[in-house]
Structure 1
């Protein structure tokens, strides 16, 4: 991973509002991601946590969920990630941008980084993101797996209250799964940012254009392809 990739956005680091813009953009993107992805995630969680033979596949999960609990059941547990997405995204992108500036300065401040450095910057962002993502996802999953007639929790705050009420064991329960989450977020985010930057570089080299001239539609496409690479990796 030694090939240099232009990091043109680093040249705009003197913009005093750059960090705020990144946070706002990341938060809006995170909210959209939660709202669009939550039904798919609920279906996945139900399928993963089901007893053997309970469902015949994802379509059966969807059918039974709509029939027994109604369409809004797809959005069980949505409040927690919606509230936390701004903080989580801010941490992930903030750390990533900081690491990119660090590597850029290490390379002489020419606005270029190696593929390995992009991976490490993304991994650092993912690691610190995972520290919050683990408990947020745990609370969300507790609510997602509640079915009709079996309601142990009345919402995210109730989950936190009941789990933390178990003392030291409660705190450990809330952060259960932290290690695999940190591994997933570190590797996944590293691969995401690396793939995205590599696709942008390929577009720039192929067409002989500057980064600022890459169309927004192409950037969205590259982001989607990078997510697919992340899913395949993890």
Structure 2
């Protein structure tokens, strides 16, 4: 990854490729994580998985994936490209050489800046993804309430109610246009503050552990890490980052799933207080196990594909 130029485009291209591969690997568990954090009626992770499969088949795990696949690839391109180029800029101005290895303070600054930048692009992507992931459960809940509120006491089978006609969003584009019409541009950034609380420290605990593990797993200081070491280091870093970010991620998911017509959270603090009072402190760690499991293959795939892509581009 050493090059005399301070700014390099291949980091962005490699990040794009890595992002695409990580979305495919991680989206099913991301759906489970979102349902656990923002939904109701799930006793635990296994119950959530079985419920989604029984009611929605395998396709239920991939709800909302088309939009992340098209956009998170760009998001990861920006994240990895910005992080790598920021490291080189810091090294150039601190040590006079963009190839000089970054220290922990340098990595921390680069990671925090990356977290700040990521929210600008990532908040709308996450919002649309979560709204699409959650709408099936919201429709089922509305149908249950409708079936239970029939005035003449007639029993209406749940399957007799047309759920498709009640869907709020037909797809990603319709979701974006609906949010813009009903909530304005700021509606696309609902939960953005919680995302900042998640991503600024989250990226510090993402890139730094990765660098540490890569150094520990190298046979000597001068050699490049083996692909297996990159995979392991990336997976461990992903699990650490996602587990520690779970409380902020819960708040973010709840605020983003909080549609305007059914809004119950006035802001981050109100969401935290309301969630604590109604469900207890444990709610902020809901989905932590899914995050740990999901974070490993996603990040392992992300870092490995990113590093291998860079090696390929720079071999010419």
TM over 0.5: yes
Do the aligned partners of residues 128 and 15 (structure 1) sit closer, same or farther apart at CA in structure 2, a change above 3 Å counting?
Answer: closer
Could you report, residue by residue, the CA deviation over 1:177-231 in whole angstroms, capped at 9, with x for unpaired residues? 1111122122111221111112222234xx324242x211111111111112212
RMSD: 2.0
In the aligned structure 2, how far is the partner of 1:203 from the partner of 1:60? 37
What aligned pairs does 1:215-234 form with structure 2 within 5 A after superposition? 215-234=226-245
Partner of 1:45: 34
Give the number of aligned pairs: 216
Partner of 1:23: 12
Partner of 1:208: 220
Query: Structure 1 residue 151 and structure 2 residue 163: aligned?
Result: no
Moved more, 136-145 or 118-127: 118-127
Partner of 2:51: 64
What aligned pairs does 1:111-150 form with structure 2 within 5 A after superposition? 111-147=100-136, 149=163, 150=166
- Whose radius of gyration is greater, 1 or 2? 2
What aligned pairs does 1:182-197 form with structure 2 within 5 A after superposition? 182-197=196-211
Instruction: Give the TM-score of the pair, scaled to structure 1.
Output: 0.85
Query: Structure 1 residue 108 and structure 2 residue 99: aligned?
Result: no
Do the aligned partners of residues 28 and 108 (structure 1) sit closer, same or farther apart at CA in structure 2, a change above 3 Å counting?
Answer: same
Instruction: Give the TM-score of the pair, scaled to structure 2.
Output: 0.64
Do the aligned partners of residues 15 and 120 (structure 1) sit closer, same or farther apart at CA in structure 2, a change above 3 Å counting?
Answer: closer
Shift of 1:81: 1.0
Do the aligned partners of residues 23 and 102 (structure 1) sit closer, same or farther apart at CA in structure 2, a change above 3 Å counting?
Answer: closer
Contact 1:131–1:182, Cα closer than 8 Å, also in 2 = no
Q: Which runs of 5+ in 2 are unaligned?
A: 141-162, 246-316
Contact 2:19–2:77, Cα closer than 8 Å, also in 1 = no
Query: Structure 1 residue 79 and structure 2 residue 66: aligned?
Result: yes
Contact 1:192–1:227, Cα closer than 8 Å, also in 2 = yes
Shift of 1:86: 2.7
In the aligned structure 1, how far is the partner of 2:14 from the partner of 2:85? 17
In the aligned structure 1, how far is the partner of 2:50 from the partner of 2:209? 36
Q: Which runs of 5+ in 1 are unaligned?
A: 1-8
Shift of 1:159: 0.5
In the aligned structure 2, how far is the partner of 1:72 from the partner of 1:232? 26
In the aligned structure 2, how far is the partner of 1:101 from the partner of 1:56? 47
Secondary structure, in 3 states, of the residue corresponding to 1:195?
A: helix
In the aligned structure 1, how far is the partner of 2:213 from the partner of 2:68? 29
Could you report, residue by residue, the CA deviation over 1:98-149 in whole angstroms, capped at 9, with x for unpaired residues? 2211221112326122111111112212221121111111101111012262
Contact 2:15–2:79, Cα closer than 8 Å, also in 1 = no
Higher RCO (Cα < 8 Å, 6 or more apart):
2
